[in-house]
Structure 1
Amino acid sequence: MTAYLLGVDLGATGLKATIIDDRGVTIAEATRPIPTASPHPGWSEQDPDTWWQAAQRAIRDVLQQFKHGAEAIVGIGLSGGAHIAVLEDEHGQVIRPAIMWNDQRSHAEAAALHERAGDRIIATSLNRANPTWTLCQLAWLNAHEPDVRRRTRRLYIAKDHLRARLTGDWTTDYSDALGALMSDVATRGWSADLAALVDWDPATLPPVGQPTDIAGRVTEAAAMATGLAAGTPVVIGSNDTTVELFGAGANRAGEGAIKLATAGVVFLTTARPEVHPPISCYPHVIDGLWYMASGINACASAHRWVRDTFFSDLSEATAFDTMDRLAAAAPAGSDGLIFHPYLMGERAPHWDPKLKGDFLGLTLRHDRGHFARACYEGISFALNDVLGAAKALSGATFGAMRLVGGGSRSATWRQVLADVTGLPMVRPENGDASFGAALVAGMGVGVFTSTADAQSRMRVRETTEPNAAAHARYGEIYALYDQARRALTPVSHAIHAQTVERAGT
């Protein structure tokens, strides 16, 4: 009989549920939005209750499309954004909204931690302190909300908190422990030494297992809430980038991927830990492999902002199609219009929370087609920045890149990215975290007998080759993009001082 698997991914702007069969074919999928609050400039928070509400609805939606009944699902896997901590008190109540990975409030604490113990943090947990990591966020909470530390009895990472609503368990995997910047590479567990840097009680940190370990089973209460069958096994899972890389098929040393989602991320699979801060280093799903990752703050989120700003007269589906069509019709270089996508400051490779986004070179001839193409080009230039920094820091070489995330659906964006970077872009048949999470579940419950068996379910849909003439043209435009970024950095900092620091945040 055919076996079916459910993957649930908790993304930055929405939750997706996907059912696949044992051939790796997607049978049904559903998404539900998740709101984000920004109570101060540079802040980004979510209420974990909205995750559970979205999960209930998305799971019910996907089961409604599924013809075989919830009992046919033999395993469930979850994934979610790294670095996102949920803090519960002694009564199991969430104490405060979860601080998201793109939140920039802890930049001062991150700088202080790096100055005080940077070498120790990197040696122990392989990565450098910056506002993305949970350790720095906890340092901010200690300074600004000290009652939170006193009340906390359990810390969950995002996907684990959502899974706990299904099973009642309290576990995480090593990739998410490492993402908290409080793990120990020697033991693949927690580091009491790093927790002590922010005076955090290690007893509040969850047990650590393997992504394929069965964490628990769907409870009767969760079954009533979601429509799932009680008793269905749920594996621990891993963070979204880890399962996406696996699901996209970048599963041999030297294979890379680019994620076009809320954030943009560049990955490269390696045979051993490659520690080149501030490039991130994570364990792969496949035991013995690792990967490097480095990303920009605003990718599909910048694309969505352009859509909402310049195409608000159109429905969501029509707006995206129109953007793609108009962007394809505009010339390479958007007739001199340049976009810097720093709408939430920037992570790699500049690590500057005070950078601001901009459009440069505006003239009366520019229309919204130019803005749409400049959006694709600006995000591609920002990702090219990351590729360049990774090459310079690590000596890595990149070949054909697997594309994951919603942005990979755009043929225009794929071509622009190929032309900017000079690299072929490979689009998998299934290239998102919910698919990867379902594959991991299949390994955990025995549907797939090995990682090689699971990998055989991954298929390539199409490959976009770079155009040599366009690549040369984009090299000239990128030089202007980078020159403008350097020139405008002091202006961005001055604007930040006027609008953020003056406001006392």
Structure 2
Amino acid sequence: MKYLLGIDFGGGSSKATLLSHEGKVAATAVTEYPTLYPKTGYAEQNPGDWYDAVKVGIAKLIKESGVSPCDITAVCLDAATHTAVVTDDDFNVVMPSIYWTDTRSIKEAEYLKENYGEMINEKCLHQPSTIWTLPQLLWVKNNMPETFAKIKKIFFAKDYVRHMLCGDYATDFIEAEGSMLFDVNTLSWSEELCKILNFDVKNMPEVKAPTDIAGKITKKAGEDTGLLEGTTVVTGSTDTVMEVFASGAVKEGQMTLKLATAGRICIVTGKAYPDKNLVNYSHLVKGLWYPGTATKACASSYRWYRDTFGGSYKDLDTGAKETPIGADGLMYHPYLNGELTPYNDPKLCASFTGVRASHTKGHFSRAVMEGVGFSLIDCKNAIHEIGIKMGDCATIIGGGAASPIWRQIVADMLNIKLVTTNNSDSSFGSAMTAGVATGVFPSFEEAVEKCSEKVSETLPNEENHKKYLELYKDYKKIHDALAPIYQNRG
């Protein structure tokens, strides 16, 4: 039997998925690494950790599955977008990568908005904020000039790891759309945008399609990972588009709801919808887009809560389930790293409000889940205001989707049906993409038919929905009351 290998790089771990040519998952392996927070507002990752995770993850996968490397026909990678890896001419990394949740580039984003906002919006379909690569690199230029002078190549996370595997210097056009250095109208690097950094556009990576063949596993990479030298390496793309694909959303009108590091509602459309509350990216399927809203700290809020206050996810879920709707007045706002939709405010801070002596850990657990849910109501309202038709059913994806109680809370809050599939994570989507790229699956649609299967539904409770709409009013009032305080903190 032959297999396809998909590898994802997320906020705290890498996941590898081995998918048979028949569309069945043979094995998965997860390898953790840290996101570093050296200063307030900073969030960094070390590119070397990603490659170390690949070596450990693939070895684990091969050992546990018993699959011979000779039977792995293609490899495809994905990662969170906007995460630049900057190197010198010899591809040596010159500094840690600034992760997309980092907020240090507030001043640079404001400068870009004031001086280049119209041009950037026209070319990139977005307004500058701290999540994009251009303001992040402008911060490096302004604050670390000696380091910036060493930068000769700009990779993105999955592209750097793929370079380590096959030696190429390239990215895909969906990834490039997240850099704020790329003209989506011409599908090429923008000389005008690169000039803001005084960076030579000729030094930017070659732009390919996600399904283009990037190269072959080198001898050195084979020795490092256990993969067979000469194995096909596919270009790949961003984690969200791979999740959208993996969930089966390959036709206009289909919707995904993501409970991962970030929380997102994405609807497949036939065009982009430039708006301050939306992130617009092309879909893997030609001619389609998946504009989406975003709350920055979704499952990352729950992970932060677990890591800070202790306990297992299972125990936290149990406590949340035993706590009534509204957590007896305890409310959480999930602004650990500022917020995107609908505020686009990097200065917002997370908070627990309404704390009483009677509150238990279960109350706090439920409050975190509900706080993320309220932020998703913000996202839903933004979609309606923009005029995108939103259906009454979404495929739920991301690590948070594994929690039955969290699924029910979100279904009740948004008053929509949530469908789970057998696999919807991005490494699964990357493995499917490897199959499309190499002809194992004739098309994206046929890959979905062969690999994706609905396994459960979570139906909304109308009475609970009405209760949450009342509580949401308080959620908004608390935001409005606290936001000015955070603005004045500088």
Task: Tell me the TM-score normalized by structure 2.
Answer: 0.97
* 1:76 counterpart SS class: strand
How far did residue 184 of structure 1 move?
1.4
* 2:245 counterpart SS class: helix
In structure 2, the partner of 1:25 is 24
* 1:281 counterpart SS class: coil
What is the letter of the counterpart of residue 410 of structure 1? S
* 1:266 counterpart SS class: strand
Q: How does 1:47-66 map to 2 (within 5 A)?
A: 47-66=46-65
Q: How does 1:110-259 map to 2 (within 5 A)?
A: 110-259=109-258
Identity %: 37
Aligned residues of 2:374 and 2:472 also touching (Cα < 8 A): yes
What is the letter of the counterpart of residue 184 of structure 1? D
Distance in 2 separating the partners of 1:231 and 1:393: 48
In structure 1, the partner of 2:10 is 11
Task: Give the 3 Å change call, closer, same or farther, for CA 401–326 of structure 1 in structure 2.
Answer: same
Distance in 2 separating the partners of 1:462 and 1:143: 51
Task: Give the 3 Å change call, closer, same or farther, for CA 14–284 of structure 1 in structure 2.
Answer: same
Q: How does 1:367-446 map to 2 (within 5 A)?
A: 367-446=360-439
2:290 matches 1:297? no
* 2:482 alignment partner, one of 484, 488, 499: 488
In structure 1, the partner of 2:466 is 472
How far did residue 366 of structure 1 move?
0.9
In structure 2, the partner of 1:451 is 444
Alignment deviations for residues 22-64 of structure 1 (CA, whole Å, 9 cap, x no partner): 2322110111111111121111111101111111101111111
Distance in 2 separating the partners of 1:469 and 1:284: 36
Distance in 1 separating the partners of 2:121 and 2:277: 10
Alignment RMSD: 1.2
Distance in 2 separating the partners of 1:34 and 1:394: 40
In structure 2, the partner of 1:348 is 341
Give structure 1 stretches of 5+ with no counterpart: 498-505
Aligned residues of 1:4 and 1:72 also touching (Cα < 8 A): yes
Distance in 1 separating the partners of 2:189 and 2:391: 33
Distance in 1 separating the partners of 2:21 and 2:321: 38
2:33 matches 1:34? yes
Task: Tell me the TM-score normalized by structure 1.
Answer: 0.95
2:319 matches 1:326? yes
Distance in 1 separating the partners of 2:79 and 2:388: 30
How far did residue 194 of structure 1 move?
1.5
Distance in 2 separating the partners of 1:185 and 1:114: 18
Aligned residues of 1:134 and 1:179 also touching (Cα < 8 A): yes
How far did residue 187 of structure 1 move?
1.9
Aligned residues of 1:48 and 1:98 also touching (Cα < 8 A): yes
Aligned residues of 1:78 and 1:163 also touching (Cα < 8 A): yes
How far did residue 147 of structure 1 move?
2.4
* 2:357 alignment partner, one of 351, 361, 364: 364
* 1:92 counterpart SS class: coil
How far did residue 273 of structure 1 move?
2.0
Aligned residues of 1:274 and 1:291 also touching (Cα < 8 A): no
In structure 1, the partner of 2:81 is 82
The size of the alignment, in residue pairs, is: 489
* 2:356 counterpart SS class: coil
* 1:420 counterpart SS class: helix
Distance in 1 separating the partners of 2:208 and 2:481: 47
How far did residue 170 of structure 1 move?
0.8
* 1:385 counterpart SS class: helix
Q: How does 1:494-505 map to 2 (within 5 A)?
A: 494=488, 496-497=489-490
Task: Give the 3 Å change call, closer, same or farther, for CA 394–121 of structure 1 in structure 2.
Answer: farther
How far did residue 280 of structure 1 move?
1.1
Distance in 2 separating the partners of 1:349 and 1:162: 34
Distance in 2 separating the partners of 1:116 and 1:439: 42
Distance in 1 separating the partners of 2:307 and 2:446: 43
2:331 matches 1:338? yes
How far did residue 302 of structure 1 move?
0.8
* 2:268 counterpart SS class: strand
Alignment deviations for residues 259-284 of structure 1 (CA, whole Å, 9 cap, x no partner): 11112122111012222234111110
How far did residue 185 of structure 1 move?
2.0
